A and B are shown apart, each in its own frame.
Chain A
């Protein structure tokens, strides 16, 4: 329990550091949202830009702006979007959050389930054709960027075959019951989740193959066989739980990568998520929105790693009891 409290404190410090770093990074770039507004408007008098800068506090020194920002964030206020008629950033993120969570979780679960299953089967017969195929597939899968895979999938399944919708999260003309509506979302979700998950299926299948190969050589697997257990129980009860430990570690670390992958995939598929919001904010130099999204992503990664730690403790009792893998 004490360890968990320490972890929460660490996480809090980390969030603070991330806010400062993000803020400095965004402010390092020349120009600000008022410049972008002036650009969009075509022309803006120096008086108006000065007035706007004063209104949003952009004329203050960066350190003052930073302190004000941190104070606001701690109170749950992420500021307003200058490019979007002063809409609160929390409101804008809130309405885009669910699509991104849905996309990321689906892609991640899909990648873990398929990747681990394929890797485990490949480890069972490391010399088989299937095992060699997974190795090649993993290499190819890992080498393909998510946005490129996304376009390929779009061309094949939406444009040529017409099986799945091209973009968005739901059909605007859709009329029907609740279940039909979920089915409609699922159809829209399939291709983006596949594009985002494919690269991780490759990574997880490769990782679980290597991990399972090692575990299947271990003494306790031999003990399980000597007990009279069938290969399925040996594989899925005794070997897999030990074999997934490195996968859980990587899963926590890769959650951030999944979210950044989501930005690209959401742009390709016009998925109305946080990723696309970030993309729009970059284009419009909408500092508060960009900072808000970065804050949220950092928070998500920290929470994901925290949960990974808990999951780790659940899977491996050696960590649960002593706090170290060596017992």
Chain B
């Protein structure tokens, strides 16, 4: 758990208000609200199908591209580096394209499939840089080299020329992080960035993300179902279930005194060392009654 929680005197960097997303009449996210502040790490936690990934994709409005999803209600206010505020739900595509990958970046779950197999890692990072910055190709490659060094990719010069299939899963995720950080975004959304990686690489990637956040001061939204990850990196938590917000608050408070029955069950599900001493089988979990009064 992080020792310091940032001060909250300023206005939020990103404010999601009453967000409702539907797919052909099915509600994937229902009236969700939360705020994100500069330098903060907010974890959105929930089981599969709870709507956490849809929430992440809705912030950049990627959820509506090439799908039947619709943002039915709500606003997503984003404070841009020049101080102006924009509602991402109402913004037109041209405005969004300037924000995507530039002011708000995203890292995905599957580093294996998230990079285009037919272009080199360098090509894909350089493309992101040249899209948002007025630099020559050589300058963009130099910048990509620096970002590769920043995300601790060994032999960055060689790696720039490599294709995704020539790299390990952890290395590919570093390339994804490099791509996301290449334009110094103020918000980084990480959608289960460590789920597809093995445990030692998970720890490396989480450690790297924390170090980079300290260096850049970016706010991070971490989507995860892993309470271990939450405990390690988050300042605050949003707990989701069945498209709705269950509980939100400071990570210490929620781990210490969860109020919603679902959150309690979620925390109880974390395996604890020694909890099975003297027992032949793990204990059964109680069924969660979502309607029980908090």
Measured CB to CB, the residues of A under 8 A from B are 216-231, 238, 241-242, 315-318, 321-322, 327
Q: Given A241-B118, A242-B118, 7 other A-B contacts at CB below 8 A? A: A223-B115, A225-B100, A226-B60, A228-B99, A242-B117, A318-B117, A321-B165
Query: Which of A217, A227, A242 is the one whose CB lies under 8 Å from B100?
Result: A227
Chain A residues closer than 8 Å to B115, beta-carbon distance: 220, 223
Chain B residues closer than 8 Å to A315, beta-carbon distance: 118
Could you name 11 residue pairs across A and B whose Cβ atoms are closer than 8 Å? A216-B66, A217-B66, A220-B114, A220-B115, A221-B66, A223-B179, A226-B100, A227-B101, A228-B96, A315-B118, A317-B163
Least CB distance, B112 to chain A, in whole angstroms: 8
Least CB distance, A182 to chain B, in whole angstroms: 37
Chain A residues closer than 8 Å to B131, beta-carbon distance: 227-229
Q: How far is the CA of A226 from the CA of B62 in the complex (A)?
A: 7
Instruction: List the B residue with the shortest CB-CB distance to A216.
Output: B66
Are B165's CB and A318's CB within 8 A? yes
Chain A residues closer than 8 Å to B101, beta-carbon distance: 226-229
Are B113's CB and A219's CB within 8 A? yes
**In the A-B complex, the 10 residue pairs with the closest CB atoms:** A327-B165, A228-B100, A227-B101, A228-B101, A219-B113, A220-B116, A219-B114, A226-B106, A317-B163, A227-B128
Chain A residues closer than 8 Å to B108, beta-carbon distance: 219, 222-223, 226
Most A C-beta atoms less than 10 A away, residue of B60, B93, B119: B119
Are B114's CB and A223's CB within 8 A? yes
Least CB distance, B208 to chain A, in whole angstroms: 19
Are B113's CB and A220's CB within 8 A? yes
Are A318's CB and B97's CB within 8 A? no
| Cβ of B105 under 8 Å from chain A | yes
Most B C-beta atoms less than 10 A away, residue of A217, A228, A229: A228
Chain B residues closer than 8 Å to A221, beta-carbon distance: 66
Chain B residues closer than 8 Å to A216, beta-carbon distance: 66
| Cβ of B137 under 8 Å from chain A | no
Taking CB atoms and an 8 Å cut-off, the chain B residues in 81-107 that contact chain A are 93, 96-102, 105-106
Are B166's CB and A321's CB within 8 A? yes
Chain B residues closer than 8 Å to A219, beta-carbon distance: 108, 110, 113-114
Instruction: List the A residue with the shortest CB-CB distance to B183.
Output: A228
Q: How far is the CA of A219 from the CA of B176 in the complex (A)?
A: 12
Least CB distance, A248 to chain B, in whole angstroms: 12
Least CB distance, A321 to chain B, in whole angstroms: 7
Are A228's CB and B128's CB within 8 A? yes
Least CB distance, B61 to chain A, in whole angstroms: 10
| Cβ of B127 under 8 Å from chain A | yes
Least CB distance, A312 to chain B, in whole angstroms: 11
Chain B residues closer than 8 Å to A231, beta-carbon distance: 65
Least CB distance, B131 to chain A, in whole angstroms: 6
| Cβ of B132 under 8 Å from chain A | yes
Query: Which of A228, A230, A316, A318 is the one whose CB lies under 8 Å from B132?
Result: A228
Chain A residues closer than 8 Å to B97, beta-carbon distance: 228-230
Instruction: List the B residue with the shortest CB-CB distance to A224.
Output: B116
Q: How far is the CA of A43 from the CA of B165 in the complex (A)?
A: 72
Chain B residues closer than 8 Å to A217, beta-carbon distance: 66
Q: How far is the CA of A226 from the CA of B115 in the complex (A)?
A: 12
Q: How far is the CA of A31 from the CA of B132 in the complex (A)?
A: 75
Instruction: List the A residue with the shortest CB-CB distance to B65.
Output: A225
Most A C-beta atoms less than 10 A away, residue of B65, B66, B93: B66
Taking CB atoms and an 8 Å cut-off, the chain B residues in 114-137 that contact chain A are 114-120, 127-128, 131-132
Are B116's CB and A242's CB within 8 A? yes
Given A226-B62, A228-B97, A228-B132, the answer on whether A317 and B114 have CB atoms closer than 8 Å is: no
Q: How far is the CA of A220 from the CA of B60 in the complex (A)?
A: 16
Taking CB atoms and an 8 Å cut-off, the chain B residues in 56-73 that contact chain A are 60, 62, 65-66
Are B60's CB and A223's CB within 8 A? no
Q: How far is the CA of A318 from the CA of B117 in the complex (A)?
A: 8
Least CB distance, B287 to chain A, in whole angstroms: 35
Q: How far is the CA of A159 from the CA of B105 in the complex (A)?
A: 62
Instruction: List the B residue with the shortest CB-CB distance to A327.
Output: B165
Instruction: List the B residue with the shortest CB-CB distance to A126.
Output: B66
Least CB distance, A36 to chain B, in whole angstroms: 55
Q: How far is the CA of A33 from the CA of B187 in the complex (A)?
A: 81
Are A228's CB and B102's CB within 8 A? yes
Least CB distance, B170 to chain A, in whole angstroms: 16
Least CB distance, A229 to chain B, in whole angstroms: 7
Q: How far is the CA of A225 from the CA of B115 in the complex (A)?
A: 12
Instruction: List the B residue with the shortest CB-CB distance to A227.
Output: B101
Are A226's CB and B105's CB within 8 A? yes
Chain A residues closer than 8 Å to B98, beta-carbon distance: 228
Chain A residues closer than 8 Å to B119, beta-carbon distance: 238
Query: Which of A222, A230, A242, A321 is the one whose CB lies under 8 Å from B114?
Result: A222
Q: How far is the CA of A221 from the CA of B65 in the complex (A)?
A: 10
